[in-house]
Amino acid sequence: MQYREKYAIIEGEPDKKTYPEFSTALSKLTLTHEGVIFFMFLEVNNIKKSYGSDASYIQVLKGVTTSISRGQMCVIQGTSGSGKSTLLNCIGGLDTMDSGSVKIDGKEIFGLSTSALSDYRRDYLGFIFQFYNLVPNLTVLENIQVCQYLTENPLDMEDLLETLGLTEHRNKFPAQLSGGQQQRCAIARALIKNPKLLLCDEPTGALDSRTSRDILMLLEKVNQTYGTTMLIVTHNNSIKNMVHKVIMIKDGLIKQDYENQTRIPAAELEDL
Ligand SMILES: Nc1ncnc2c1ncn2[C@@H]1O[C@H](COP(=O)(O)OP(=O)(O)OP(=O)(O)O)[C@@H](O)[C@H]1O
Ligand SMILES: [Mg+2]
């Protein structure tokens, strides 16, 4: 907190020469356009991940390093097989890394036991996948309630249903919903516990362009309303224009990693 007080009034990039005592700390800080400093929320350092052995050995992640500040939306792009889902799964504790470090809010997850990883997923994360992952014999409301009970401080159910346009569909089963409605339900499941980090693996991959836009506008609204940090894996080349940060992966390495200075609202994206 002392850094925030010290630097909150500085505009632009903090000058490390003027403040040498903070030079190390500054490398871990980011200054938003409002001039407020936050610690990096997600710090990924030199992650390596391989599968198989001998003839089937494949090194998928070859040393991935990046960081994302709190409240940022970030797109991860790369060709099929480049390691995007593997990276997301390692960050989300769905898969283990061979080496490296992943810190969320300063908490290291590399080396955690299976049960500690499960606590981490429950306490910090929401997941959204391409194919919705709803429980078929539960209604929309029940599907969301299952996740609501995982936390002591869930979002307000009625508000969330309203925000996601699900109020009128609350008593339907997944099979009675369109693809876009099913994805909205999956998003509600992920959001009801108000996760600090939302991991999305091709959230619009199975949707047409109009429904994709609806879902992206929703993610944008969630980001603005709840300040949820988001990592979005996508093949669509347009989505990167709406987010704060873009990561391009090629053959298990980060090829490009940049902040997007000119964000376009989801409503105005072309070629979805
Ligand atoms: N459980 C696994 N066992 C063996 N190999 C795997 C496993 N999971 C992924 N791989 C391999 O790792 C590489 C990267 O896979 P990954 O799913 O991360 O790619 P991706 O970038 O998400 O691709 P796509 O865009 O097609 O989803 C691929 O060569 C894949 O075959
Ligand atoms: Mg994938």
Ranges of each domain in the chain: 1-35, 42-268
Q: How many angstroms does the Cα of residue 82 sit away from the middle of ligand 1?
A: 7
pLDDT grade, residue 58 (50/70/90)?
A: very high
Phi, psi of 262 (to 5 degrees): -125, 80
**For residues 107 and 13, which has the higher predicted lDDT (pLDDT)?**
107
Structure token digits, residue 52: 């198989």
Structure token digits, residue 81: 């097989």
- Kindly give, in sequence order, each residue whose CB lies less than 8 Å from that of residue 138, ignoring residues fewer than 6 positions away: 146, 173
Stretch 65-71: mean pLDDT, rounded?
Answer: 94
Is the predicted pLDDT of residue 29 greater than 90, yes or no? no
- pLDDT, tens digit (0-9, with 9 covering 90-100), for 156-193: 999 889 888 899 999 999 999 999 999 999 999 999 98
Nearest 10 degrees: CA dihedral of 53, 81, 264, 133? -80
Instruction: Look at residue 206 in the predicted model and tell me its pLDDT.
Output: 87
Q: How many angstroms does the Cα of residue 88 sit away from the middle of ligand 1?
A: 11
Atom 7 in ligand 1: which residue has the minimum CA distance? 51
Helix 179-191 crosses helix 140-148 at what angle (to 10 degrees)? 20
Whether the CB of 30 sits within 6 Å of ligand 1: no
Stretch 115-126: mean pLDDT, rounded?
Answer: 92
Instruction: Look at residue 257 in the predicted model and tell me its pLDDT.
Output: 96
Instruction: Give the distance between the most distant pair of CA atoms in the chain.
Output: 62
β-pair partners for 59:
50
Whether the CB of 77 sits within 6 Å of ligand 1: no
Instruction: Look at residue 20 in the predicted model and tell me its pLDDT.
Output: 47
Lowest mean pLDDT among 60-64, 78-82, 160-164, 184-188: 160-164
Closest ligand (CA of 82): 1
Q: Are 194 and 239 in contact (CB under 8 A)?
A: no
- Kindly give, in sequence order, each residue whose CB lies less than 8 Å from that of residue 8, ignoring residues fewer than 6 positions away: 35, 36, 37
Instruction: Look at residue 226 in the predicted model and tell me its pLDDT.
Output: 84
Q: How many angstroms does the Cα of residue 238 sit away from the middle of ligand 2?
A: 18
Task: Say how far apart CA 77 and CA 81 lie, in whole Å.
Answer: 11
**For residues 16 and 149, which has the higher predicted lDDT (pLDDT)?**
149
Is the predicted pLDDT of residue 245 greater than 50, yes or no? yes
- pLDDT, tens digit (0-9, with 9 covering 90-100), for 184-237: 999 999 999 889 999 999 999 988 898 899 889 989 998 998 899 999 999 999
Task: Say how far apart CA 40 and CA 100 lie, in whole Å.
Answer: 17
Is the predicted pLDDT of residue 115 greater than 90, yes or no? yes
3-state DSSP assignment of residue 113: coil
Instruction: Look at residue 225 in the predicted model and tell me its pLDDT.
Output: 87
Considering the segment(s) 42-268 as one domain, its CATH architecture is 3-Layer(aba) Sandwich (3.40)
Closest ligand (CA of 84): 1
Whether the CB of 51 sits within 6 Å of ligand 1: yes
Instruction: Look at residue 222 in the predicted model and tell me its pLDDT.
Output: 87
Whether the CB of 78 sits within 6 Å of ligand 1: yes
Is the predicted pLDDT of residue 6 greater than 60, yes or no? no
Q: How many angstroms does the Cα of residue 81 sit away from the middle of ligand 1?
A: 5
- pLDDT, tens digit (0-9, with 9 covering 90-100), for 123-152: 899 999 988 889 999 999 999 999 998 888
Stretch 253-265: mean pLDDT, rounded?
Answer: 96
